[in-house]
Amino acid sequence: MAKRGMQEAPVHGRRVLVRVDFNVPQEPNGQVADDRRIVEALPTLNHLRAAGARTILMSHLGRPEGHKDPRFSLRPVARRLSALLGQPVPVAGDTVGIEALELSARLQNGQFLLLENLRFHPGEEANDPAFAAQLARLGEVFIEDAFGTVHRAHASTVGVPRRLPSFAGLLVEREVHELSRLVTSPSRPYAVVVGGAKVKDKLPLLTSFLGRADRLLIGGALANPFLAVSGAPLGASPVEPGLEGAVTDFLRAAESARTEVLLPTDVVVDHPGHSEAEVYPLGQIPSDAVALDIGPETRSRFIAALAGTNTVFWNGPLGRAEDPRFAEGTRSVLGSLAGVPGFHVAAGGDSARLAHDLGVTGGFQFVSTGGGAALEFVQGLELPGLAVLPDA
Ligand code: ADP
Ligand code: 3PG
Ligand code: MG
């Protein structure tokens, strides 16, 4: 599964085109709200600087859908990167074309250039060959370090590596190494904790763990359709419609695979007219109340289920954890991992940020920079941005 690494790349005095994932959360004014993805790219960038490369960075930010939209400019990212590197990082105002060519040709050893948002061009997401060729012309060597985007078959992630000698960056190598431990003979017992909101998106993820994991702990709004098929009234909690069949099939498959499925037995609700959050056992939720967190009994059951494990994978909050009234389930269950020996991994766009905000990253040996990419990787799916790179 290992890919040819950048240590083998001839970079001294060369123009090295690096795909990074600088798709970071933004403040309303466009400033960088969370720079973890930039910080995690630094080992690769420092390596290139020390090796005397002329580095041309490319990334997307948000989903501008093929139009130049100043709200998604990478200039604030360049300023943050420049502060982290302690040297200027100029931005080529157009991703490809004369200016980008000239700026990249003028780079000296150890210098950096950041191209403006790849998704300002429709050719990026369409993987247009002409756009990929224009990008490839900017460099002599390609390094893939955008782990968070390797599940996309775009011009910068598959078009360019087909045209240049290509290598995996240090972040990609590290992500692949750590996440592989969840796929290839994980140390058992192996527990998977999944929450969040998008049930349809997460059913394939849950299904992929049947037989591979020993326990699945399901919380958050994701638990609602599972609780609904057991006939429990969920008050005014939203239940994604049309999933009864899929959920019933899943529970049956879990039984034959001998993968234990743990669901909430009590919940914390938002109850109109009551200012405090209230706890109800399943079956007694008032008709106008909405379940927004797992309850204290469920917390204890989940914490006990994680206590004897050797491997834990977590994606998705167990409640609406951005609201302190509904964060305790996520905070206490994930916080308990700090006292459990073993290998613990967190992944997911919202999850990684929440883990930091809730102060529970200490319980994890690895927090992925990937959202969708990490979830596809742990399912064992082939990721186009990795498949295209030569093996080690
Ligand atoms: P990730 O991006 O990490 O994969 P998701 O996008 O699936 O995670 O889910 C994150 C969102 O799910 C959070 O914004 C959280 O508020 C929401 N959520 C989780 N549980 C509930 C719930 N019971 N009711 C409403 N929203 C919930
Ligand atoms: C992510 O944040 O998951 C990656 O940067 C990919 O972004 P996308 O979902 O807009 O393709
Ligand atoms: Mg999300």
pLDDT in tens, 199-256: 888 999 999 999 999 999 999 999 999 999 999 899 999 998 899 999 999 999 999 9
Place of tokens 């927090």: 367
Residue 350 lies in a domain: yes
How far is the C-alpha of 56 from the C-alpha of 58, rounded, in Å? 7
| Index of the ligand 1 atom closest to the CA of residue 196 | 9
128 and 31 in one domain? yes
138 and 257 in one domain? no
- Interval between CA 20 and ligand 2 midpoint (Å): 12
| Index of the ligand 1 atom closest to the CA of residue 322 | 16
49 and 80 in one domain? yes
pLDDT interval class at 75 (50, 70, 90): very high
267 and 347 in one domain? yes
CATH (domain of 86): 3.40.50.1260
Residues with CB under 6 A from ligand 2: 21, 23, 63, 148-149, 152, 349, 371-372
Residue 129 lies in a domain: yes
Residue 206 lies in a domain: yes
Q: Which percentage of the chain shows pLDDT scores above 90? A: 95
- Interval between CA 119 and ligand 1 midpoint (Å): 27
197 and 145 in one domain? no
Residue 386 lies in a domain: no
128 and 215 in one domain? no
Mean pLDDT within 15-27: 97
Q: Please report the pLDDT score of residue 361 as a whole number.
A: 96
143 and 269 in one domain? no
Q: Please report the pLDDT score of residue 201 as a whole number.
A: 85
Q: For the chain, what is the total number of helices (H) and then of strands (E)?
A: 14, 15
* Structural domain ending residue among the three candidates 138, 173, 208: 173
Domain range holding 40? 6-173
Q: Please report the pLDDT score of residue 276 as a whole number.
A: 86
Mean pLDDT within 179-184: 96
- Does residue 1 register a pLDDT over 80? no
Residue 11 lies in a domain: yes
Q: Please report the pLDDT score of residue 199 as a whole number.
A: 86
Q: Please report the pLDDT score of residue 349 as a whole number.
A: 82
- Does residue 4 register a pLDDT over 80? yes
CA 282 from chain centre, in angstroms, equals 32
Task: Output the average pLDDT for the chain.
Answer: 96
140 and 274 in one domain? no
Counting ligands in written order, the one closest to the CA of 25 is: 2
Mean pLDDT within 387-392: 97
Residues with CB under 6 A from ligand 1: 195-198, 220-221, 291-292, 315-317, 319-322, 348-351, 371
271 and 363 in one domain? yes
How far is the C-alpha of 169 from the C-alpha of 214, rounded, in Å? 33
Higher pLDDT, 199 or 72: 72
Counting ligands in written order, the one closest to the CA of 222 is: 1
Q: Please report the pLDDT score of residue 198 as a whole number.
A: 82
Residue 179 lies in a domain: no
β-sheet with 266-270: strand ranges across: 278-281, 266-270, 290-294
pLDDT interval class at 259 (50, 70, 90): very high
130 and 23 in one domain? yes
Q: Which percentage of the chain shows pLDDT scores above 70? A: 100
- Does residue 370 register a pLDDT over 80? yes
- Number of structural domains the chain divides into: 2
pLDDT interval class at 277 (50, 70, 90): confident
Q: Please report the pLDDT score of residue 133 as a whole number.
A: 98
* Structural domain ending residue among the three candidates 134, 150, 173: 173
Residue 20 lies in a domain: yes
Q: Please report the pLDDT score of residue 350 as a whole number.
A: 85
Helices (H), the chain: 36-50, 75-85, 98-106, 122-125, 129-136, 170-183, 199-208, 224-229, 244-257, 296-307, 328-335, 349-357, 372-378, 384-387
How far is the C-alpha of 381 from the C-alpha of 383, rounded, in Å? 6
Residue 180 lies in a domain: no
pLDDT in tens, 120-165: 999 999 999 999 999 999 999 999 999 999 999 999 999 999 999 9
* Structural domain ending residue among the three candidates 114, 142, 173: 173
How far is the C-alpha of 24 from the C-alpha of 154, rounded, in Å? 19
Contact 282, 266 (CB under 8 A): yes
Q: Please report the pLDDT score of residue 323 as a whole number.
A: 95
φ/ψ of 117, rounded to 5, equals: -35, 120
- Does residue 81 register a pLDDT over 80? yes
209 and 163 in one domain? no
161 and 66 in one domain? yes
